[in-house]
A and B are shown apart, each in its own frame.
Chain A
Amino acid sequence: MQINGIQIDDTFAEAFNMRGTRVIITAQNHKWAYHAANAMTGFATSVIGCGVEAGIEREMTADETPDGRPGVSILMFAMGSKVLMQQLETRMGQCILTCPTAAAFAGIISEDMISLGKHLRYFGDGFQTSKLIAGKRYWRIPVMDGEFLTEETTGMVRAIGGGNFLILATSQPAALAAAEAAIEAMKTLPNVIMPFPGGVVRSGSKVGSKYKTMFASTNDAFCPTLKGITNSELSPEIESVMEIVIDGLTFEDIAKSMKTGIEAICKLGAGSGVKRISAGNYGGKLGPHLFKLHDILKGSAA
């Protein structure tokens, strides 16, 4: 398949089941809401080393948030419910409780509600106050700037992580510019995050390593400097590869996001230096969800 001179490989991205949650963070203004959200979603690029993958989903206006203040919604994903709960509590305590004027609210409702501020309340040392308002329980914890307000729980849902595609270009700047264009388009969509720095990852990995202690290592087949000495996937003109990884609440959300991103790149045309779009997979044996690039772009992925 070719779009605007860019080749789309007949391959697929392989994704895994995850657990996800959404938290709405509000503050006095967007500046402080972003400070809180950036801290909470910091060091959350990959479950391999961070426990969770998290990112800002979108900015929210004051009339969209529960407490009528400016806010942002964040999504957080983990491989299991236990890790997600533990990471959420830790990050709430260190990043939201500590951030001036910030408050946190449930961004999703589910059968399995998990602790958002339920345990954090003990920071109040007996001065904490619970309020049940319109059927939802909130905690007010006295802090030095006034009161920290948090909802007691948020929802936890089944989600999918690891949707991805690779951008193969003739130069590093070309690959990065294309990745940036894709991210700008993908950021407008709900229910997905691209957890890596700026949404882009340059160190795509394969499963396993020659070293016993490593369970993931560099994806040598896509490393341009190894073209001559490894079983490379790259043609001679490719000098740089960037990957965009997507975590989302449903298969459809990720498929739509991948389609939007790839189409944004294809709009740039082959003249931009992008030659191919591919995807990372493990032969289809590890992840239950396969995002076939051709099907996604035809709009027939399911």
Chain B
Amino acid sequence: MSALTFTLKTALLHSINCSALTPDNLAGKSAAEIAAIELVKGRNQLLAGDIFDISGTDTQELCFRNATAKLDYIGAGMSTGSITIEGDAGAGLGYGMKHGNIHCKGNAAAFAACSMRGGLLTIGGNSGDFLGAGTEGSRKGMLGGTVIVKGNAGDRAGDQMRRGLILIEGNAGDYCASRMIAGTIGVLGKTGIYTAFNMHRGTLLLQHQPELHATICDCGTHTLPFLNLLFKSFRQYDTKFSSLDQNRVQRFAGDTACNGNGEILVLQPQA
């Protein structure tokens, strides 16, 4: 069986909600049924078959070709299978996903991995703002799973993140780990201003010294044994983080402005 492939026919003017096109929803459906899925409702109704050329049969392995940032909510809520995106993805990539695997080869727009609960999301390019954050009104961000961003992340990465792992190989924007509740974020590049703003708990692992605001407190340089476990867990992923092995870090704690007990660990040369 070959991957069920959705090839975008023409450039879209408006965003399309692709949340219906997940391995869960498509399992057991015939080619005709899949083509008849309504993606845009209302007067200008558009079906999947109108927007995409659909080929292949394996509903557990989906592929989006010629994908652009107009394709929102790809893989939303999925709990099985895998999705490959050849191109860019729109907002809400992997929104609320529970299990499975999404690989976006290009860039992802804002709110990628938003409210994600499990599985693996890999973004080959950059991600927009609010990576791994929560939805509007939600008091909790990402709740589990792993996100790997090969490029840069926008502002507010990990905002209100509750659990899980975000690994950003490039730079992160402003307010990285803001309001973070728990979980782990790693950034190999640089971070913007107000890193860990109102951070409650959780771990932000950095390669470069961040510019920190006054309520994040320096706790000195230490060798932390738990980092051995963390680094070991990175080795299962295809990421630059898998080569980390120095467990000597400068530890900053905070944000004391909100009585926070989070930590920023800045990797140091091995003593």
Rounded to whole Å, the gap between the CB of A122 and the closest CB of chain B is: 14
Most buried by A among B228, B232, B236, B263: B228
A146 to B114, CA, bound (A): 35
Whether the pair A69, B229 counts as a contact (CB closer than 8 A) is no
A134 to B184, CA, bound (A): 12
Sorted from nearest, which 4 A-B pairs have the closest CB atoms? A134-B233, A67-B228, A68-B228, A133-B233
Contact mask A132-174 → B, CB, 8 Å, 1/0?
A: 1110001010000011010000000000000000000000000
A66 to B233, CA, bound (A): 10
- Asked whether any CB of chain B lies closer than 8 Å to the CB of A95, the reply is no
Whether the pair A127, B230 counts as a contact (CB closer than 8 A) is no
Whether the pair B225, A147 counts as a contact (CB closer than 8 A) is yes
Whether the pair A131, B184 counts as a contact (CB closer than 8 A) is yes
- Asked whether any CB of chain A lies closer than 8 Å to the CB of B163, the reply is yes
Q: Interface SS of chain A: helix, strand, loop or mixed?
A: strand
Picked from B222, B225, B263, the residue with its CB within 8 Å of the CB of A129 is B263
Could you list 6 A-B pairs, sorted by A, with CB under 8 Å? A67-B229, A127-B261, A134-B232, A134-B236, A138-B226, A147-B225
Contact mask A41-68 → B, CB, 8 Å, 1/0?
A: 0000000000000000000000000111
Whether the pair B226, A147 counts as a contact (CB closer than 8 A) is yes
- Asked whether any CB of chain B lies closer than 8 Å to the CB of A103, the reply is yes
Whether the pair B222, A66 counts as a contact (CB closer than 8 A) is no
Whether the pair B226, A131 counts as a contact (CB closer than 8 A) is yes
Whether the pair B203, A149 counts as a contact (CB closer than 8 A) is no
Picked from A129, A146, A147, the residue with its CB within 8 Å of the CB of B261 is A129
Whether the pair A146, B226 counts as a contact (CB closer than 8 A) is no
Q: Interface SS of chain B: helix, strand, loop or mixed?
A: mixed
- Asked whether any CB of chain A lies closer than 8 Å to the CB of B131, the reply is no
Rounded to whole Å, the gap between the CB of A301 and the closest CB of chain B is: 40
A132 to B183, CA, bound (A): 8
A interface residues, how many (CB within 8 angstroms): 18
Query: Which residues of chain B are within 8 angstroms of A66 by Cβ–Cβ distance?
Result: 229, 232
A126 to B182, CA, bound (A): 14
Instruction: List A residues 63-104 near B (Cβ within 8 Å).
Output: 66-69, 103
Query: Which residues of chain A are within 8 angstroms of B203 by Cβ–Cβ distance?
Result: 129, 131
A174 to B35, CA, bound (A): 86
- Asked whether any CB of chain B lies closer than 8 Å to the CB of A250, the reply is no
| Chain A interface (Cβ < 8 Å from any Cβ of B) | 66-69, 103, 126-127, 129-134, 138, 140, 146-147, 149
Query: Which residues of chain A are within 8 angstroms of B182 by Cβ–Cβ distance?
Result: 130
Whether the pair A149, B233 counts as a contact (CB closer than 8 A) is no
- Asked whether any CB of chain A lies closer than 8 Å to the CB of B140, the reply is no
Whether the pair B225, A67 counts as a contact (CB closer than 8 A) is yes
Query: Which residues of chain A are within 8 angstroms of B163 by Cβ–Cβ distance?
Result: 132
Rounded to whole Å, the gap between the CB of A75 and the closest CB of chain B is: 23
Picked from A103, A127, A132, A134, the residue with its CB within 8 Å of the CB of B225 is A103
Rounded to whole Å, the gap between the CB of A37 and the closest CB of chain B is: 17
Query: Which residues of chain B are within 8 angstroms of A130 by Cβ–Cβ distance?
Result: 182
A258 to B207, CA, bound (A): 55
Whether the pair B228, A146 counts as a contact (CB closer than 8 A) is no
Least CB separation from B222: chain A residue: A146
Instruction: List B residues 1-25 near A (Cβ within 8 Å).
Output: none
- Asked whether any CB of chain A lies closer than 8 Å to the CB of B99, the reply is no
Rounded to whole Å, the gap between the CB of A89 and the closest CB of chain B is: 21
- Asked whether any CB of chain A lies closer than 8 Å to the CB of B201, the reply is yes
Rounded to whole Å, the gap between the CB of A69 and the closest CB of chain B is: 7
Query: Which residues of chain A are within 8 angstroms of B184 by Cβ–Cβ distance?
Result: 131
Rounded to whole Å, the gap between the CB of B225 and the closest CB of chain A is: 5
Whether the pair B223, A69 counts as a contact (CB closer than 8 A) is no
A132 to B182, CA, bound (A): 10
A126 to B230, CA, bound (A): 22
Least CB separation from B163: chain A residue: A132
Query: Which residues of chain B are within 8 angstroms of A129 by Cβ–Cβ distance?
Result: 201, 203, 261, 263
A166 to B233, CA, bound (A): 48
Contact mask B54-96 → A, CB, 8 Å, 1/0?
A: 0000000000000000000000000000000000000000000
Least CB separation from B201: chain A residue: A129
Least CB separation from A101: chain B residue: B225
